Structure 1
Amino acid sequence: MSKIRITKQFTFETGHALYGYDGKCKNVHGHSYKLSVTVIGSPITDSGNVKFGMVIDFGDLKKIVKEEIVDLFDHATVFNQNTPHIELAAELKARDHHVILVDYQPTSENMVIDFAKKIKDRLPANINLHSLRLQETETSFAEWFQSDNL
């Protein structure tokens, strides 16, 4: 049976700051992120199955990614919990802002690693995560490929 890759794209707005960084990104700022999620599997061959011919229903993939990533990160500000940004995070939370504390520097590279784990944990057994592409700006993105992480 042929293996097919399908991709679904998502967008969300997220703020962050890179503690200790030597450039402008040390300041709190935001991005209009574009996330491309590519999974691989074989199309369903059972003609009696309502998902006949699909690798995975795009709606099912959308549900996973929205619940694990988009709904959580959209219009949130992300800080590394192991830095003095924890004080800024506490102040923002006290003012009813949506803040996410992570145990890593919130770069696109680290975010895409985090996202890969979250998505992989939710995919059906017969579907594998092939790759993620997290675009931070029009000209900058980080990619994660399963084949690089075996």
Structure 2
Amino acid sequence: MNNIQITKMFTFETGHALYGYDGKCRNVHGHSYKLSVTVIGTPISDKNHVKYGMVIDFGDLKKIVKEEIVDVFDHATVFNKNTPHVELAKELETRGHNVLLVDYQPTSEMMVIDFAGKIKKRLPDSVQLHSLKLQETDTSYAAWYASEN
């Protein structure tokens, strides 16, 4: 049987700030992120299986990514918890804002690494994460490939 790649795309809005950065992105700002999740596997060959012919049900992949990434990051502001932005985060939280404190600088590069780990843990054994593409702007994205990691 052949390995097949399937991709599902997601969108979410997230704010962040890059502490210590020497450009505009040191200021709190946001992006309309586009995340493409590609998995690889062999389509189910059991004709009696309810998901016959599928690598993974797109709905099952959507559930994983929605729960792990989209529902967590959408309309949240992300700060590295090891920076003075923690004080700003606390202030925003007291005002009812959704704030995420992470162990990394919240760049697209580091976010896509985080996302890969979260998604891989939830996939069935028969399906592997192939790649992620996290598009921050129309002209900028970070990509993660299992073959390179």
Corresponding residue for 1:11?
11
Residue type matched to 1:89 in 2? A
TM (norm. structure 1) is: 0.99
Q: How many equivalent pairs are there?
A: 149
Pairwise CA distance, 1:120: 0.1
Corresponding residue for 2:90?
90
Residue type matched to 1:39 in 2? V
Identity of aligned residues (%): 77
- Unaligned stretches of 5+ in structure 2? none
Q: Distance in 2 between matches of 1:104 and 1:46?
A: 43
What SS does the aligned partner of 2:122 have?
coil
Pairwise CA distance, 1:30: 0.2
Pairwise CA distance, 1:37: 0.1
Write out aligned runs for 1:1-150 (5 A). 1-149=1-149
What SS does the aligned partner of 1:121 have?
helix
Task: Write the deviation string for residues 82-109 of structure 1: whole angstroms up to 9, x where unpaired.
Answer: 0000000000000010000001000000
Pairwise CA distance, 1:50: 1.0
- Unaligned stretches of 5+ in structure 1? none
Residue type matched to 1:25 in 2? C
Q: Distance in 1 between matches of 2:36 and 2:71?
A: 16
Runs of 4+ in structure 1 displaced over 4 angstroms?
none
TM (norm. structure 2) is: 1.00
